Amino acid sequence: MLAHDQDSLKRTPLYDLHVSLGGKMVPFAGYDMPVQYPAGVLKEHLHTRSQAGLFDVSHMGQLRLLPKSGKVEDAARALERLVPQDIVAIAPGRQRYAQFTNADGGILDDLMVANFGDHLFLVVNAACKAEDEAHLRAHLSDDCVIDSLADRALIALQGPKAEAVLAKFCAKAPSMKFMDAGPHEVAGIKCFVSRSGYTGEDGFEISVPAADAERLAKTLLENPDVMPIGLGARDSLRLEAGLCLYGHDIDTATTPVEAALEWSVQKSRRSAGARAGGFPGAEKILAHIDQGAARRRVGLRAQGRAPVREGALLFADSASAEPIGQVTSGGFGPSLNAPVAMGYVPTASSALGTSLFAEVRGQRLPMTVAAMPFVKNTYKR
């Protein structure tokens, strides 16, 4: 990377901590982020699955939607103009996964939406956060005050020991269930805590004032069960969990149904629902829900040991000239000690057990459509 490019990268409030811990810094979504630490991706991944990993996700966007009427339901109804999810039904202290869609039913970004009682709290992807904020301001400014919470960091504590670690500093942590979210004190710091994450493991995401982020991260890392985790293991963990990465597995040309995310569209927003449609691309998305889509995201397992990476073309057999699909995420799954991948295939070829072939360096490697998640999730329901 050229020096002037390196200088243009943004830094999270935890940058100095990453460097002091030996983090290997790389450009990601406009930020200088740790891809791994000296332990390496494999150990970081397996430590998160067996104990607890600490991730810096401060590059993500954090936003607050304050209803001008003072009624959080009005902010929820306004946001429903931009997403296919039932936002009105999110109870105070809960959060929900959603997508911003475009007029053709494609996904502009995926996000988390929490009801904090008097306002909505949103977390959006780093690469899309400027566009997402502009999108919200363009469409919701009549109903909501939109605050960008740029003075906050975001850290994730993930793994089977996450609850025990956090319980020492946050009394409410053990009583939280998956997708609970709200203001809580952590180590005496006023934070926003959700019981969620992007690893498939039980865990928490903690929004903390930027000025307190390093102190909180160091406090958590003092526990011998906690290891700092970089982007490399974050990616392999979410892949094993069958979770989409925006810009890879989902994008502006992919509908939620094609992406196998129709579970996230509640009945109230579907055809004949109480508030059916009314979001961008509703006609196409609801048609896909009702009638099916021509293609679908599926899990893929390779028969051999060679990882099948993003961009590999998929074929119906070992000899056909025309590809039928493409891998969108792929790599080695450390928990499985085997390669795993996700990609898009015609719906007719999406049934579990379907045999396909991936082209890797001029060779056709046999693949099988497999159930996701590849590793069973451990969310505390």
Residue 4, pLDDT score: 41
State the burial class of residue 158 (Cβ atoms within 10 Å of its Cβ: 0-12, 13-18, 19+).
Answer: buried
d(CA 9, CA 247): 20
Q: Residue 181: which of 246, 127, 112, 227 has the closest Cα?
A: 112
Residue 1, pLDDT score: 40
Across the chain, which has 381 residues, the per-10-residue mean pLDDT values are: 62 98 97 98 98 98 98 98 98 98 98 98 97 98 98 98 98 98 98 98 98 98 98 98 98 98 98 98 98 98 93 96 98 97 98 97 96 97 93
- Please, which residues have CB within 8 angstroms of residue 318's CB and are 6 or more apart in sequence? 357, 364, 366
Residue 6, pLDDT score: 59
Residue 5, pLDDT score: 55
State pTM to two decimals.
Answer: 0.96
Residue 303, pLDDT score: 87
Residue 332, pLDDT score: 96
Residue 304, pLDDT score: 86
